Amino acid sequence: MSESPVTYADVERAAEIISPLVHRTPIMTCETLNQLAGRELFFKGEHLQKVGAFKFRGASHAVARLSEQQQANGVCTHSSGNHAQALALAAKQQGMVAYIVMPENAPCVKVDSVRGYGAEITFCEPTQTAREQAAREIVERTGATFIHPYDNPDVIAGQGTAALELLEDVPGLDAIICPVGGGGLASGTCLAAHGINPDIQVYCAEPAGADDTFRSYQSGERQPVGVPNTIADGLLTSVGELTWPILRTHLADVLTVTDEQIVEAMQLLWTRMKQVVEPSGAVPLAALLHHKLPGEVQKIGVILSGGNVDLNKLPW
Amino acid sequence: MSESPVTYADVERAAEIISPLVHRTPIMTCETLNQLAGRELFFKGEHLQKVGAFKFRGASHAVARLSEQQQANGVCTHSSGNHAQALALAAKQQGMVAYIVMPENAPCVKVDSVRGYGAEITFCEPTQTAREQAAREIVERTGATFIHPYDNPDVIAGQGTAALELLEDVPGLDAIICPVGGGGLASGTCLAAHGINPDIQVYCAEPAGADDTFRSYQSGERQPVGVPNTIADGLLTSVGELTWPILRTHLADVLTVTDEQIVEAMQLLWTRMKQVVEPSGAVPLAALLHHKLPGEVQKIGVILSGGNVDLNKLPW
């Protein structure tokens, strides 16, 4: 097996680099949810991170690690989700330009948000090919550095800082659970957790309608997602080339949940914890409520990955 | 003017008595909301209090102050709102029985919640007369002590502890703003703030559709609410006999807002702060966004009074 391109030391260094740039998000607990899950849960509130999602960690780190020349040319990505906002704000905060490719059918609220962070938006047809093509053209024209949403070592190390803080604030966790889409957060979490203590069980939770990581984990080979179908719009992508080997090595298990279970967990987070968490962020709690974890797994860290929802399009 | 039946010393003592019983709720800040308001806002998160509202403070204090004999006979109230849940849990936590009169058309979710805290529920016709009559009969039959939701010195002192904590955590506030319904929270806030520093401006915010405190403040005489009409269902009651003299003495102003402005503020709290706050709790932010406060009022404490909403009946 080849050496991982990202290590625990990278996560530690990322934490030092981004600590002046990101929020140190709070740990939250809720007796009712503990009772329902039959475990002691410690929620890491990344929905309270800047731009409302953990993505700001990886984007801030990737931007900070650029050379002076690269910073002068700016950064580029294609995304209609939290990574677009994260990269736009990270670039603005560190004084450089961000070129964001968005599909022309992207929700107005997301376009406005990215524009509000001062990014230069290029619209394209809503296909993966058109997005990649448009980003390539921008990179060629401007010399901007392309920042992948998850298959980027600096992004992975940056996302790992959430688990690092969680384990600093709550020592002695038996397990950590986070959602998995492309695997940036999940792989960073693995590196952080096992750098601190190899005995911590790291679980990923995934929508049944986008269960590529579950199938990859079962078969031992990376499986594409096919046509994803889930309300967890942050988890539609397939696990990455860079993130998959890390997950394969470190994960204790991958747990899948239905959209119905995701909505139930989301509503509990809203009504009981009073926290606005997006569907993707509710996937781990859904898994905890519907899967039997081993008895020795009692103290569990749960990463609430984001809180960006359209209040006019709630899934109930 | 007669001596106030509640004083700053009562609030201080209440804080000592209830500190092992209630959550010390966090202070939250949000750059976006600061920019929109043009001030520095410090939110006291009482939506994260037990039962999801500040009401638990007053109820816990009133229950704790009962004599042994009174405690043996239990407590009683009539309410379909947060006070019912608060008194039910406070009684349960302190080992006594709670008799709660609820209108027979009360939402199932609230009835279940009160029942979940082990209270004995009596249903009655949905009129004020029927509620008072039912409560009176219970008190006569059981010897239970009636705990009024706001016109009770121990309740007022208990509600004041939220502002006390806020001023301990954020010294140097120029002003505090809270919503006003019956005036329990508002009068307790006045006593706490001016006990610490008489120069702190205390503002109340009120829905235009239930503006009895505004009209009382303008006229100098307590005015009944008439027929209230607002989505802020926690603020339908008229300011009380006990609370009104305290408010008249201490308030800097009463600010009214429309239901449209309440919904706008509520959505900002949900989407920007990621906090589930009920309409009543969003009234102060609505006032800050739509009223011009004096220029010297820069650092403002804002009490987020509660977060109990029915996700299937959102006001948008």
The answer to whether B275 contacts A277, with C-beta atoms less than 8 Å apart, is no
CA distance A9 to chain B (A): 32
**Chain A residue numbers touching B274 (CB-CB < 8 A):** 47-48, 52, 275-277, 307
Listed by number, the residues of chain B in 29-88 with a beta carbon closer than 8 Å to a beta carbon of chain A are: 47-48, 52
Instruction: Give the model confidence (pLDDT) of B63-100 as tens digits.
Output: 999 999 999 999 999 987 899 999 999 999 999 999 99
CA distances from B238 to A258, B102, B207 (A): 47, 19, 12
In the predicted model, is pLDDT for residue A2 greater than 60?
Answer: no
Say whether residue B258 is in contact with chain A using an 8 A CB cutoff.
Answer: no
The answer to whether A274 contacts B311, with C-beta atoms less than 8 Å apart, is no
Dihedral, CA of residue A261, residue A262, residue A267 and residue A269, to nearest 10? 120
B267 closest CB neighbour out of A48, A277, A311: A311
pLDDT score at A3: 64
CA distance B48 to chain A (A): 7
Helix (H, G, I), strand (E, B) or coil at A20: coil
- DSSP output for A167-234: HHHSTT-SEEEEE-SSSHHHHHHHHHHHHH-TTSEEEEEEEGGG-HHHHHHHHSS-----S---S-GG
CATH of domain B8-54+152-304: 3.40.50.1100
The answer to whether B311 contacts A26, with C-beta atoms less than 8 Å apart, is no
pLDDT classification of B226: cutoffs 50, 70, 90: confident
**Chain A residue numbers touching B276 (CB-CB < 8 A):** 270-271, 274-276
Say whether residue B276 is in contact with chain A using an 8 A CB cutoff.
Answer: yes
pLDDT classification of A271: cutoffs 50, 70, 90: very high
Q: B274, B277, B311, B312: which to substitute to probe chain A, counting the most A Cβ within 10 Å?
A: B274
Torsions phi, psi for A177 (to 5 deg): -130, 135
Q: A22, A27, A274: which to substitute to probe chain B, counting the most B Cβ within 10 Å?
A: A274
Concerning whether A55 is annotated as a catalytic residue, the answer is yes
Options A80, A187, A238, A280, the catalytic residue = A80
Q: Widest CA span of chain B, in angstroms?
A: 56
Residue B140 CB contacts under 8 Å (≥ 6 apart), including other chains: none
In the predicted model, is pLDDT for residue B159 greater than 60?
Answer: yes
Torsions phi, psi for B46 (to 5 deg): -75, -10
| A248 vs A81, more confident | A248
Say whether residue A19 is in contact with chain B using an 8 A CB cutoff.
Answer: no
Element housing B134 (H / E): helix B128-142
Between strands B98-103 and A75-78, the pairing is unpaired
The answer to whether A314 contacts B311, with C-beta atoms less than 8 Å apart, is yes
Mean predicted lDDT score pLDDT of chain B: 95
Say whether residue B162 is in contact with chain A using an 8 A CB cutoff.
Answer: no
CB B29 within 8 A of CB B302: no
CA angle A208, A211, A217 (to 5 degrees): 130
Lowest mean pLDDT among B35-44, B49-58, B121-130: B121-130
Instruction: Give the model confidence (pLDDT) of A151-201 as tens digits.
Output: 999 999 999 999 999 999 999 999 999 999 999 999 999 999 999 999 999
In the predicted model, is pLDDT for residue A4 greater than 90?
Answer: no
Q: Widest CA span of chain A, in angstroms?
A: 56
pLDDT score at B127: 86
Lowest mean pLDDT among A50-54, A106-110, B51-55, B272-276: A106-110
Which among B220, B228, B227, B213 has a CA at the least distance from the CA of B180? B213
**Strands of B40-45's sheet in order across:** B27-28, B40-45, B299-304, B175-179, B201-207, B253-257
The answer to whether B274 contacts A316, with C-beta atoms less than 8 Å apart, is no
The answer to whether B274 contacts A270, with C-beta atoms less than 8 Å apart, is no
In the predicted model, is pLDDT for residue A204 greater than 90?
Answer: yes
The answer to whether A8-54+152-304 and A56-146 have equal CATH topology is: yes
pLDDT score at A1: 44
pLDDT score at A110: 83
CB A209 within 8 A of CB A260: no
Options A44, A50, A55, A110, the catalytic residue = A55
Say whether residue B309 is in contact with chain A using an 8 A CB cutoff.
Answer: yes
Instruction: Give the model confidence (pLDDT) of B7-19 as tens digits.
Output: 999 999 999 999 9
In the predicted model, is pLDDT for residue A241 greater than 80?
Answer: yes
* Extents of the domains making up chain A: 8-54+152-304, 56-146
Token pair of A300, please? 């569990």
Say what the pTM is: 0.94
> How many CB atoms sit inside 10 A of residue B118's CB?
12
Instruction: Give the model confidence (pLDDT) of B190-208 as tens digits.
Output: 999 999 999 999 999 999 9
CB A45 within 8 A of CB A67: no
Percent of chain A scoring above 70 in pLDDT: 99
The answer to whether B311 contacts A267, with C-beta atoms less than 8 Å apart, is yes
CATH topology of domain B56-146: Rossmann fold (3.40.50)
| Catalytically active residues of B, by annotation | 55, 80
A275 closest CB neighbour out of B267, B274, B314: B274
The answer to whether A316 contacts B312, with C-beta atoms less than 8 Å apart, is yes
**Chain A residue numbers touching B316 (CB-CB < 8 A):** 311-312
Percent of chain B scoring above 70 in pLDDT: 99
Say whether residue A277 is in contact with chain B using an 8 A CB cutoff.
Answer: yes
Say whether residue B312 is in contact with chain A using an 8 A CB cutoff.
Answer: yes
